[in-house]
């Protein structure tokens, strides 16, 4: 019997030996993702797809898939995949929750601290030969210790951000679709508040919601108007949760003091984006989970899901268990 065919849309930071024993593998080895037309061609003859958040897996693509048994995404988010379409075709979709929680929370903190204490501006200043003496008012930023942190979205990553905030003696507010258990609130020393109150009272607002119809441009003109002029926005979730035009307005008119983004709309950010003209925004190329150990764990988890799907077993980390 011939082996099942698998397409992997990029080189992975792990070994493929185990997978090789049960499947015939094709890996897309270019730095850029496979173009949509290539995906459309491949999907027609494969049994398993291992994809990344840069691959658009839409209804048209899924309808062209006649033998596909499993989609395994190497990411926790899966807004690039039309889940209802996959479910209607009985295709299980896997993802990689949990293993990237700490790395992403760490990175949200790296951005928060870099934006507050102006680390990127400071480096540019030094390299430009501007460091001539110690100055009492050079590159001042706000206090982090003791400030109010607003966490929007309180799943695994939001909670991990809160755990770190405790060490900075912060007042921690959160808002979320579901309020968490009182014991958890108590142990993390967090207060559940309405979104608007969080916006008005926070010195730092950090976003940890998935992208959905409800969260698309959740941060736009109205929200920036409510934030403190001294506040800093951090986004390590998905770019489209923030309206980039509204953010530019808010940053350039002093409605908010700064922003640090690991994600943008679109990605990559176009080099003519007005945001890139501002000094009070830091933009990283979607690095939230980018620790070596985390990326390796994500790749292994994605392979685990893929292999389970090829064997016809239930995926250990399944987004649409309704298929079973």
Q: Which helix (H) or strand (E) is 49 found in, with range?
A: strand 48-51
**DSSP class of residue 272?**
T
**DSSP class of residue 270?**
P
Min CB(211)–ligand GLV separation in Å: 10
In the bound state with ligand GLV, the residue whose beta carbon lies nearer, of 209 and 255, is 209
Min CB(41)–ligand GLV separation in Å: 26
Q: Catalytic residue numbers? A: 238, 267, 286
In the bound state with ligand GLV, the residue whose beta carbon lies nearer, of 142 and 210, is 210
Min CB(81)–ligand GLV separation in Å: 11
**DSSP class of residue 66?**
S
**Burial class, 267, CB count within 10 angstroms (exposed 0-12 / middle 13-18 / buried 19+):** middle
- Among 90, 68, 89, 95, which residue's Cα sits nearest to residue 5? 68
**Burial class, 129, CB count within 10 angstroms (exposed 0-12 / middle 13-18 / buried 19+):** exposed
Min CB(284)–ligand GLV separation in Å: 12
In the bound state with ligand GLV, the residue whose beta carbon lies nearer, of 70 and 81, is 81
In the bound state with ligand GLV, the residue whose beta carbon lies nearer, of 146 and 285, is 285
In the bound state with ligand GLV, the residue whose beta carbon lies nearer, of 77 and 141, is 77
User: Is residue 221 a contact partner of residue 249, using CB atoms and an 8 Å limit?
Assistant: yes
- First and final C-alpha spacing in the chain: 26
Peptide bond into 145 cis (omega under 30): no
- Among 155, 34, 102, which residue's Cα sits nearest to residue 297? 102
Q: Which residues contact 71 (CB under 8 A, 6 or more apart)?
A: 48, 49, 51, 57, 81, 86, 91, 92, 93, 94, 309
Binding residues for ligand GLV, rule: CB under 6 A, are 53, 75-77, 100, 288-289
Min CB(251)–ligand GLV separation in Å: 23
- Among 270, 265, 245, 263, which residue's Cα sits nearest to residue 255? 245
In the bound state with ligand GLV, the residue whose beta carbon lies nearer, of 77 and 153, is 77
Q: Which residue has the tokens 């993390």?
A: 188
Both tokens of residue 48?
């398993």
Min CB(55)–ligand GLV separation in Å: 13
Partners of 175 in beta bridges = 152
């Amino acid at each position: 019997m011939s082996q099942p065919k698998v397409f992997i849309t990029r080189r992975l930071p792990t070994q493929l030996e185990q997978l090789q024993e049960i499947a015939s593998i094709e890996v897309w080895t270019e730095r850029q993702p496979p173009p949509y037309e290539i995906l459309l061609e491949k999907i027609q003859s494969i049994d398993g797809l291992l994809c990344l958040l840069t691959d658009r897996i839409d209804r048209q693509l899924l309808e062209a898939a006649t033998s596909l048994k499993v989609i395994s995404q190497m990411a926790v988010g899966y807004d690039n995949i039309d889940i209802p379409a996959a479910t209607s075709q009985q295709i299980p979709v896997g993802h990689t929750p949990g293993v990237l929680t700490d790395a992403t929370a760490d990175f949200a903190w790296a951005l928060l601290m870099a934006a507050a204490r102006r680390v990127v501006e400071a480096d540019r200043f030094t390299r430009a030969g501007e460091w001539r003496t110690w100055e009492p008012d050079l590159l001042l930023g706000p206090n982090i210790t003791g400030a109010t942190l607003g966490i929007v979205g309180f799943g695994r990553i939001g909670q991990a951000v809160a755990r770190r905030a405790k060490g900075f003696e912060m007042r921690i507010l959160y808002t979320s679709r579901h309020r968490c258990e009182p014991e958890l609130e108590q142990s993390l020393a967090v207060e559940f508040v309405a979104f608007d109150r969080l916006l008005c009272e926070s010195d730092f607002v950090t976003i940890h919601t998935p992208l959905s119809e409800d969260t698309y441009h959740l941060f736009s003109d109205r929200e920036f108007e409510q934030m403190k002029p001294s506040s800093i926005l951090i986004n390590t979730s998905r770019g489209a949760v923030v309206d980039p035009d509204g953010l530019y307005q808010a940053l350039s008119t002093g409605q908010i003091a700064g922003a640090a983004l690991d994600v943008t709309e679109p990605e990559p950010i176009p080099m003519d984006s007005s945001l890139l003209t501002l000094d009070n925004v830091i933009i990283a190329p979607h690095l939230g989970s980018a620790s070596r150990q985390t990326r390796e764990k994500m790749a292994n988890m994605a392979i685990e899901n893929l292999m389970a799907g090829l064997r016809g077993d239930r995926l250990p980390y399944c987004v649409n268990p309704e298929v079973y």
